[in-house]
């Protein structure tokens, strides 16, 4: 199949190269961002529950340094994860940063809780080494279960598809690209008179 050759095209086939022939940009699905937002909501509600439980037993919790640290940490996590999730759902960059910060803080909080719990519990008990190992293993497993969603939230908030999904909301809409420029004939092709 041969294409017609027009003057001024250097002997090359005349292939229309108009914006109307361009493929529309691929839209980001936002799956990673939405999952990160859902996990942030779940995490925020979990830590909000932690605040209420601490208030229910405040006389015991606030007698210990770890109880105060845990209470403040839960407040920080609620104030970063819940608003961050809302902003992330509305495709605001600040939401992504809040979710990332809250998830990273949650991981540090759980690791700190594991270290604090093992350091304060095991030396002061009369457990045998096998019992102490079982307690450490159970504590580590429980905290790992809590850390996995926090790590997943952080990873999903930081990956490039989430960044692109947020950036796509701020970019100019490409819906009218075909109508923005009238179709023009290739260079050297005679102009057609307007019929309207």
For position 130, what pLDDT does the model report?
64
Q: What rounded mean pLDDT belongs to the chain?
A: 78
The answer to whether 69 touches 63, Cβ cutoff 8 Å, is: no
Looking up tokens 């970019």 gives 171
How far apart are the C-alpha atoms of 27 and 137, rounded to whole Å?
Answer: 45
How far apart are the C-alpha atoms of 35 and 149, rounded to whole Å?
Answer: 11
For position 177, what pLDDT does the model report?
47
Nearest residue to 177 via CA among 23, 27, 19, 21: 19
How far apart are the C-alpha atoms of 25 and 115, rounded to whole Å?
Answer: 49
| Full pLDDT tens readout for the chain, 196 residues | 555 555 555 555 555 555 544 555 567 789 999 999 999 999 999 999 999 988 887 666 666 787 888 899 999 999 999 999 999 999 999 999 999 999 999 999 988 888 877 776 655 556 566 666 666 667 667 777 888 999 999 999 999 999 999 999 887 655 544 444 555 666 666 666 555 5
For position 33, what pLDDT does the model report?
96
Give φ, ψ of 5 to 5 degrees.
-105, 135
DSSP 111-161: HHHHHHHHHHHTTTS---HHHHHHHHHHHHHHHHHHHHHHHHHHHHHHSHH
Which residues, at least 6 apart from 72, have a Cβ–Cβ distance to it below 8 Å?
none
DSSP code for 21? G
For position 176, what pLDDT does the model report?
46
From residue 172, how far is each of 25, 33, 90, 95, 169 by CA, in Å? 12, 20, 16, 20, 8
Token readout for 7 is: 């003057």
Nearest residue to 194 via CA among 179, 186, 183, 181: 183
For position 55, what pLDDT does the model report?
81
For position 151, what pLDDT does the model report?
95
For position 11, what pLDDT does the model report?
55
For position 112, what pLDDT does the model report?
86
């Amino acid at each position: 199949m041969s294409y017609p050759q027009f003057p001024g095209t250097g002997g090359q086939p005349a292939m229309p190269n108009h914006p109307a022939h361009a493929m529309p940009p691929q839209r980001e699905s936002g799956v990673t961002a939405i999952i990160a937002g859902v996990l942030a909501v779940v995490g925020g509600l979990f830590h909000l529950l932690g605040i209420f439980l601490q208030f229910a037993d405040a006389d015991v919790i606030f007698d210990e340094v770890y109880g105060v640290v845990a209470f403040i940490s839960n407040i920080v996590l609620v104030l970063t994860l819940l608003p961050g999730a809302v902003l992330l759902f509305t495709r605001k960059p600040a939401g992504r940063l809040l979710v990332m910060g809250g998830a990273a803080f949650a991981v540090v909080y759980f690791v700190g809780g594991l270290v604090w719990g093992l350091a304060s519990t095991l030396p002061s008990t009369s457990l045998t080494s096998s019992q102490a190992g079982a307690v450490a293993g159970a504590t580590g497993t429980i905290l790992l279960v809590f850390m996995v969603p926090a790590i997943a939230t952080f990873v999903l908030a930081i990956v490039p598809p989430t960044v692109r999904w947020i950036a796509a909301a701020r970019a100019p809409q490409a819906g009218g690209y075909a109508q923005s420029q009238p179709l023009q004939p290739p260079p050297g092709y005679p102009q057609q008179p307007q019929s309207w």
